[in-house]
Amino acid sequence: MRNRSMLVVSIAVVGALTLSACGSRGEKSGTSGDAGGTTVTIGVDAPLTGPLSALGLGIQHSVELAAKIANDNKEVPGVTFKVKALDDKKSPQEGQQNATALVADKSVLGVVGPLNSGVAQSMQQVFESASLVEVSPANTNPALTQGEKFETEKKRTFKTYFRTATTDAIQGPFAAQYAYTDLGKKTAYLIDDKKTYGVGLVGAFQKEFTKLGGTIKGQDHIDENNLDFSAVVTKAKAAGADVIYYGGEYPQSGPLSDQLKKAGVTAPVFGGDGMYDPEYINKANKNANGDFATSVGAPVESLDSAKKFVADYKAAGYSDPYAAYGGYSYDAAWSIIQAVKAVVADNGGKVPSDARAKVVTAMSKVSFEGVTGKVGFDEYGDAVNKQLTVYTVKDGAWAVAKSGTYAG
């Protein structure tokens, strides 16, 4: 079994705790330590078991590393950071339960996660009601920050929600531009997994692709729990499109690519960051060469700003790689640490009783050079870093095809 709880803090919570902001009824945020300091917990919510655990464990360990570095460097004098990681099993229901549990722990002053946009939707109101800040390193659905009508009227619904990843409103069009202009693909067949992330990503791709002059040859959906995609494959093959654009994640898109290639479909499969993982290639049974995926930011290994993170992660000896969202998870955790630092400094070096609400306010002003580059948030809580990368599978491994920003 993989190690999923290297830095889990055990906090004794006395008395009934409700979903109110931390510090109500005179309670103090954080927990007093034996040495007279204060313990502040950073929560983590991600799929730590199951088919997406490769991504979830990378998120968890990267947050743990940020807490370790902050403690070693005494980043916030008098404060020791701990990590409390909960497994959402990529389930909205589990995510909501985890959000409630994290709110109930009064030492938690910020949460990193979740991975899935659909899970985030179930958690946002819980954190909002408790004034507990949440920073996702991976959510890309635009509605999470800009409201359901974001295409016509952007409106921030949850002031506690932030993210270090860019959105599908940028990722989908970026992929469409690359497919149409760089690859010369003029027709596309669309497939999604019927979930929030996949549907939104496909919609953003479709809008830009057709605006550029491309033609959609058809669209279909899959059941994520049934890996026999023969019916979808038959229709996709008959459509004869230049590219198959998929909205979803690697546990399904890998087998889908395999079955498409075995059926004689020569068009590449193109997807988003949920597809960008070595497991996609493994699940495609060596049939992924020539496929494409976009992912947020630039590849961590290519960034000078990430060299220390990569070295520190390796030195820490985690049994799982930091994966696609490691750098963004570290930056998400560090943004919480910096917000706590500002709040403590403004309160004479102590964690105030209303720390949660003050951390939310401080997050809007956070700005630093992180692992992934410039870290900060706009008026919606979205990342100011809009960098994206297209990857392609070459000789059985992901390789950079193009990095840049969406020219919309």
Give the Cα-Cα-Cα angle 302, 295, 301 (nearest 5 degrees): 15
**Strand 388-394 to 161-163 pairing:** unpaired
Dump pLDDT digits (tens) for 89-139.
Answer: 999 999 999 999 999 999 999 999 999 999 999 999 999 999 999 999 999
pLDDT beneath 70, residues of the chain? 1-36, 407
Q: Are 55 and 277 in contact (CB under 8 A)?
A: yes
Dump pLDDT digits (tens) for 178-220.
Answer: 999 999 999 999 999 999 999 999 999 999 999 999 999 999 9
Would you say the pTM of this structure is higher than 0.75?
yes
* Number of residues that this document lists for the chain: 408
- Reference 114, options 65, 159, 66, 48; nearest CA is 48
